[in-house]
Structure 1
Amino acid sequence: MKLGVFTTLLSDKTLDEALTYLVSKGVQAVEIGCGGYPGTAHANPDILLNDESKLEEFKATIAKHGVTISGLSCHANPIHPNKSIAKEFDEALTKAILLAEKLGIDVINTFSGCPGDSENSKYPNWVVCPWPDDFLTILDWQWNEVLIPYWKEKAAFAKAHGVTKIALEMHPGFCVYNPASALRLREAVGDVIGVNFDPSHLIWQGIDPTLAIKELGKAGAIYHFHAKDTKVDSYNTAVNGVLDTKHYGDELNRSWIFRSCGYGNDLGYWKDMVSALRMVGYDNALSIEHEDSLMSTNEGLTKAIDFLKEVLVFEKQGGMWWA
């Protein structure tokens, strides 16, 4: 495994500056945004796909710092009910796939997306309960008329361009938000579909990340990993539950908040996750995604890096001489 970072948090720096900073802290791999919500600060497909000299400059910068690219990220909602928004996100995802092909990268991180409740919707409609029955009618339409057809087409396009792993981040608000929904889409579309496993979005749902890793790992469905923690506030959750629409900046009153690794859960919790990842054969990066509102970018990232150095298993295990 490798210690990685999602470079979007350093979008105010050039790629060379960001990598200089990260390598000085012991980072071995980077995840680079190239469209959608992460933006294009460090990899703009409109430039890199159309200017060979810029593409070579990008490759040279990566090589200069001796890091690997764990995946390209284009988190988006390509099935948004607003057709112009969906088109913009779909085109961004297409360009990300084409850039991955140019770079020899086979992992694209994104979201499954979420449509509305009909062809006439203006906004996404995330269904989270089976009653009244209207909700199941909506869910059936979303999956069978929109989600599955879209991803069948996009998965075929990705495979044709050498991208064999579309890693969907299981994120509430989108159709794929837990292991069951991820495996359902994978079953319908094929093994191009897997997950970008981010425990922070599972923790607040009450999911045990270690058990989720084992469940998804049995299917060979873990293609990437985000290292981000969540702290659940036991008092606020006991009063109001985990579904919380208060702003992320209202830390004192929220039921949960995102934290740097180690500030939501302890070493043992994270070591269990890493051990489970090794059990299921995952050997890509743990890519730190900094979204801790209580720390600066530098301090939050530095603390996460130091914490993960204690958690990660870097060497191959070798033979069992005792067995």
Structure 2
Amino acid sequence: MKLGVFSVLFSQKTLDETLDYIAAKGLDAIEIGTGGYPGNAHCDLDGLLADESKLQAFKAAVDSRGITISALSCHGNPLHPQKDIASADDAVIRKTIQLASKLGVAVVNTFSGCPGDHEDAKYPNWPIAPWPNDFQEILKWQWEEKIIPYWTEIGKLAAENNVKIGLELHGGFSVHSPATLLRLREAAGDAIGANLDPSHMWWQGIDPVQAIHILGRAGAIHHFHAKDTSIDPINVNHHGVTDMQSYSLMLDRAWQFRTVGYGHDMKVWADMISALRLVGYDYVVSIEHEDGLMSVDEGFTKAVQNLQQILIREPLGEMWWV
């Protein structure tokens, strides 16, 4: 396995500064935003696609530091009921697939998106209960008319470009759990898989180790984010896991994102790393820092230090004791 970082947390730095910084920390890989919610501070998507010399210079900048690009990330909502929003996010996804293919990057990370509840809706509708039955009708319409058709097309485009799609299982979007990911993968093809982020499993009440087993046995883990979550035992009884308060209200929230090791101990993280190895995942563990209690530098540095202890790097050898 290799250790990497989602470079969006260094958006205030240039690409060269970011690459130098993470190389000095001993990292092997970088995940780069190309647009959508992560922005494109380190990647001029249109410019790189239009100019071969810029493309080669971009690739050389990464290669010269001994770093690989684990994924290009363009998280957005290509199924948004407002057509201008959906079209813009869809265009970024398609261009990102094209750029990944040109750069030889294996994975494009994004969200599944979430449609509205009918053709003329204005806002996304995320059904999370089977009753009243209206929610079932909405869910059926979303999957049959929007989710499966769109991702079948994108999955085909990705496969044609030798790229895999890593959907982040995130609340508020149609694909948010192992079951919803596997449902879409069955319909849309094996190019569709997970960018598995344990932080979003914990707050939904899903054990990330079990999620790794479920998705890994199906060959459906394309990328992995390293981010932690802490759940407040008092506040969660007040607000529930679908707490709608701002992330900035950390003292009152039911749960909050933490850097690696500050929500769950290193035995839990070691169990996840072991589960990834067990199911055959031997790719990048990409740090995502969204800890409101730590600066970018401190939170990132602690995540690196904690993960370096437990990451399994060497190839499997023979079981000499067997």
* Smaller-chain TM-score bracket: over 0.9
Aligned to 1:65, the other structure's residue is in SS state coil
Query: Which residue is 2:22 aligned to?
Result: 22
Query: Which residue is 1:55 aligned to?
Result: 55
Using the size of structure 1 for normalisation, the TM-score is 0.99
Aligned to 1:109, the other structure's residue is in SS state strand
Count of aligned positions: 322
C-alpha separation in 1, matches of 2:281 and 2:265: 21
Instruction: Report how far residue 160 of structure 1 moved.
Output: 1.7
Q: Encode CA deviations 1:162-213: one digit per residue, 9 max, x unaligned.
A: 21x1110000000000000000000111111100000000101111000110
Structure 1 spans left out of the alignment, 5+ residues: none
Which amino acid in 2 is paired with 1:45?
Answer: L
1:277 maps onto 2:280 in alignment: no
Q: Encode CA deviations 1:104-145: one digit per residue, 9 max, x unaligned.
A: 112110100000000010000001001110000000000000
C-alpha separation in 2, matches of 1:125 and 1:190: 25
Q: How do residues 1-323 of structure 1 correspond to structure 2 at under 5 angstroms?
A: 1-163=1-163, 165-323=164-322
- 2:239–2:253 Cα contact (<8 Å) kept: no
Which amino acid in 2 is paired with 1:210?
Answer: V
C-alpha separation in 1, matches of 2:211 and 2:162: 28
C-alpha separation in 2, matches of 1:183 and 1:195: 9
Instruction: Report how far residue 239 of structure 1 moved.
Output: 2.9
C-alpha separation in 2, matches of 1:140 and 1:297: 41
Which amino acid in 2 is paired with 1:65?
Answer: R
Aligned to 1:168, the other structure's residue is in SS state strand
- Identity %, equivalent residues: 59
Structure 2 spans left out of the alignment, 5+ residues: none
Deviates more, 1:313-322 or 1:141-150: 313-322
Instruction: Report how far residue 238 of structure 1 moved.
Output: 2.5
Which amino acid in 1 is paired with 2:254?
Answer: S
C-alpha separation in 2, matches of 1:306 and 1:4: 12
Which amino acid in 2 is paired with 1:187?
Answer: E
- 2:34–2:43 Cα contact (<8 Å) kept: yes
C-alpha separation in 1, matches of 2:35 and 2:242: 29
Q: Encode CA deviations 1:2-37: one digit per residue, 9 max, x unaligned.
A: 111000110111111001001111111111111111
Q: Encode CA deviations 1:85-111: one digit per residue, 9 max, x unaligned.
A: 000000010110110011011211010
C-alpha separation in 1, matches of 2:55 and 2:113: 29
Using the size of structure 2 for normalisation, the TM-score is 0.99
C-alpha separation in 2, matches of 1:19 and 1:263: 26
Which amino acid in 1 is paired with 2:68?
Answer: T
Aligned to 2:200, the other structure's residue is in SS state helix
Deviates more, 1:233-242 or 1:57-66: 233-242
Deviates more, 1:44-53 or 1:255-264: 44-53
C-alpha separation in 1, matches of 2:126 and 2:319: 48
C-alpha separation in 2, matches of 1:216 and 1:162: 21
CA RMSD of aligned residues (A): 0.7
